[in-house]
Structure 1
Amino acid sequence: MEATLKQGESTGKTAFPLFYFFVFFAFGTLLPLLSVYLQEVAGLSGAEIGMIMSISPVTTIFVQPIWGMITDYTRKPVLVLTIALFATSLIGLLYSFVDEYRWLVVMAILLASAQSAIVPISDSIALHYVQKNGKKYGSIRLWGSIGFAVAVLVGGWLSDRFALVAIFYLFSSMLMLSGLLAWRLPKESQPMKSETLQGMAQLFQIPQFVLLLIATFLIFGPILANNFYFGIFIKQLGGTLTGIGIAFLLAAGSEAPFMKMADQLIHRFGMVPLLMFASAVSCARWLFYFFEPPLFFVYITAVVQGLSVGLVIPAALQYVRDIAPKQVRATAVSLYSAVGNGLGVWFCTFIGGYMLDRGHIGDVYLFFSICTFVGMLSLIGISLCNAKKFPFRKGEKA
């Protein structure tokens, strides 16, 4: 038994970094340049781009919780994850053959339906592993940021040298490789102790969880929607496709060191204060971009993303795990991801597209800063609940 545990710990130690690196390498090749592809190759308008890009997060709202319930029910997260990875890879490849608006809508729905399972299930597996083996989630998740950072530079360079369609081929191949690596991840899962729907109802009885969903909607929405508009922002300031890659390299690459330090900072300052600080930094960044500063200063301030994203992701995810009942943690993570990665991103992306059509790119970032500021008020609400020692859930004190 002890030998089996040590083998699982050793396998996870090497498998998780490689897996996260290649998964986010795939995301990094497609997401930052997809809006540029839709604008320059497909010839879509700002409103059409906003519609296409917002389809992904709004589809996630409905599909991601279903993936979480399937995972909780089957207790085979690695199998479900592998299926999602190969399905996303195939759809991403088919995406490259489509150029009509109506078919781009269809492909966006299919891609989002498959892709929405990848991050929450991966995170659920990783968090179960680190808690069981005394590891640090931030030390694993930072490899995703490194992969994303490298990918945007490689994707931008290949697109400049060959064609923008290269992003789909790179995306598909990296996810296929990730699917093979997924089988090296730990396959154990936690047993179900209650019905998933009952667990979801229990989650909404936790004030801190509800407030965190609101904060996630308003803070994560702009952070992730920025991946869609940052490339257009760089282009309008005079940057090239390679320049977009450099900007994302600086932004995503700076996340890794903060993720590595996240566990220590959480232990020292607490999750909610850390979320407040990181959100304030994001708010200031979006407001700065509203004034459309010189490209040089955009490159410099891109590293601020490391501080905000690198701290927000581990702290928020750990907080969700801490306040959720054990038997529905996968569902809680999926629901949390659906609100931030789904509803919040859809809202910010959709409204951003119309603002881009009717104004300029700076207006999009002013909107992002306002959303983030309001989201910080929800974090204050969580602090007040904790200060009053409001119970996380029935029968348990905060």
Structure 2
Amino acid sequence: MDAQQRTFTNMKVFYFLAYFSFGGLFPLLSVYFQNEIELSGSQIGMITSIGPIVMLLTQPVWGLLSDYTKRPRLLLTIAVIGTGSVGFTYLLAEEYVILVAIAAGLAMFQSAIIPLSDSMAMNYVYKNGGDYGNIRMWGAVGFALAVWFMGMLSDWLGQGIIFYGFALVLFISAYFSLGMPKESVTAKVDIRGGMKELVKVPGFLLFLIVTFLVFGPIMANNFYFGLLIQFSGGSLAGVGFAFLLAAGSEVPFMRWAGQWIRKRGILVILFVAALASGIRWIFYSTGPTPEFIYMTTIIQGFSIGLFVPAALQYVTELAPKEVKATAVAIYSAVGNGLGAWFFSISAGLIMEWSSILSVYLFYGIFTLSGAALTLWMIRSKKAESSNGLAIAEPKLKEH
């Protein structure tokens, strides 16, 4: 195996292990808080929502450190060891305030892992050829297998096992982080100046609202899906099995997304994905049995597998060249940051007032609102295309 093959293999292993650690902890964390610590819904909501905000604030700091030190591999190694170490301390804490502090500390280190590794991987692929998607795909595989595997182990050995697994796998990934490519490129982002340009782009602000309404519930679902399955009568192994089906089904749809986008158009694909996601949440609010939940998890593959690549392509090709990096940063902040925070903390409050079924009704209403707004964008584009005032849809490039 030559040096280039070793680097590609190393990157795939790192992504597999990093996402395996995430998949083995976060989908089962809310279940642990409810069953073992007996936290209230609002307390669970606060703990699960603190991460997106901390990550939003600390990611730029890691980027500046990478630019200043020119040692992204070292920073990545520090980040994975720090994430594993802080995450393990969940097992030693029961006080609510301490759990919130742990969640914030974990997010501070975790916020560096994906941006740094993505930057190194994409820069390497750009210089040496290859397919970033084939590298990143191993992360999806690791996440899906982890929830299934750790769910079974939790049934056999107790829920505390998820923290041992999380720390151990991240410590192993630290070895492979040292073998990541040496160089990374951090895109320069000017939020204030870039936003002045982006507000002039037809459809950009509307799409940020769509992202908030559709992607926010998708991100928050990672924390509350396990509680839904347990509420319906499923086991921890069942939680893992459901996530295996859901996350695993994303891979083929992500592969087909490009072809479908070129054939139908980005906005149409975004509308269909948002509609499917909203219908899924409404169905879950009716209190289905675990078997019906398992059967419908493929909708996650359809909705996320299409929405994520379509949304990213829409943003990058809609934005002017000089503010593309800013557009992607704002899009990510709205969906992964503000959206995940709002729908996580709201879910906790709703659980305390009502039940997990009401959480998914809430998700469904907001997501279908996002789908309706996307449909309005499509109709506006068609109605006004003749006079050039329509909401823009970027011309797609053949990839």
TMscore range, shorter length: 0.7 to 0.9
Change (3 A) 1:397 1:235: closer
Structure 2 counterpart SS, 1:116: helix
Mapped partners of 1:158, 1:113: distance in 2? 28
Deviations 1:16-38 (A, max 9, x none): 32222111111111111100110
- Say if 2:14 is the partner of 1:14: no
Mapped partners of 1:212, 1:130: distance in 2? 29
In 2, are the aligned partners of 1:234 and 1:295 still within 8 Å (CA)?
Answer: yes
In 2, are the aligned partners of 1:199 and 1:328 still within 8 Å (CA)?
Answer: no
- The aligned amino acid for 2:194 is Q
Structure 2 counterpart SS, 1:44: coil
Structure 2 counterpart SS, 1:41: helix
Structure 2 counterpart SS, 1:153: helix
| Partner residue of 1:258 out of 216, 228, 253 | 253
Counterpart of 1:276?
271
Mapped partners of 2:130, 2:226: distance in 1? 36
Structure 1 counterpart SS, 2:233: coil
Q: TM-score, normalised by structure 2?
A: 0.85
- The aligned amino acid for 1:347 is F
- Say if 2:299 is the partner of 1:304: yes
- Say if 2:194 is the partner of 1:202: yes
| Runs (5+) with no aligned partner, structure 2 | none
> Which deviates more from structure 2 when the two are superposed, residues 321-330 or residues 260-269?
321-330
Change (3 A) 1:268 1:177: farther
Number of equivalenced pairs: 386
Structure 1 counterpart SS, 2:168: helix
Counterpart of 1:285?
280
Counterpart of 1:94?
89
- The aligned amino acid for 2:149 is V
In 2, are the aligned partners of 1:120 and 1:337 still within 8 Å (CA)?
Answer: no
Structure 1 counterpart SS, 2:370: helix
Alignment map for 1:211-290 (pairs within 5 Å): 211-290=206-285
- State the structure with bigger RCO (CA 8 A, min sep 6), 1 or 2: 1
| Partner residue of 2:102 out of 90, 101, 107 | 107
Mapped partners of 1:278, 1:180: distance in 2? 38
Mapped partners of 2:148, 2:171: distance in 1? 20
In 2, are the aligned partners of 1:279 and 1:372 still within 8 Å (CA)?
Answer: yes
| Runs (5+) with no aligned partner, structure 1 | 1-5
Alignment map for 1:1-398 (pairs within 5 Å): 8=4, 10-71=5-66, 76-132=71-127, 135-190=130-185, 196=188, 198=190, 201-206=193-198, 207=201, 208-322=203-317, 333-377=328-372, 379=374, 388=388
In 1, are the aligned partners of 2:116 and 2:184 still within 8 Å (CA)?
Answer: no
Mapped partners of 1:210, 1:74: distance in 2? 35
> Which deviates more from structure 2 when the two are superposed, residues 300-309 or residues 12-21?
12-21
> Which deviates more from structure 2 when the two are superposed, residues 171-180 or residues 373-382?
373-382
Mapped partners of 2:377, 2:183: distance in 1? 33
- The aligned amino acid for 1:45 is S
Deviations 1:309-362 (A, max 9, x none): 222223333444445677876665444333222211110011111111111211
> Which deviates more from structure 2 when the two are superposed, residues 115-124 or residues 276-285?
115-124
Aligned-residue offset at 1:101: 0.7
> Which deviates more from structure 2 when the two are superposed, residues 211-220 or residues 162-171?
211-220
- The aligned amino acid for 2:283 is F
In 2, are the aligned partners of 1:65 and 1:335 still within 8 Å (CA)?
Answer: no
Change (3 A) 1:336 1:115: farther
> Which deviates more from structure 2 when the two are superposed, residues 112-121 or residues 217-226?
112-121
Mapped partners of 2:255, 2:128: distance in 1? 17
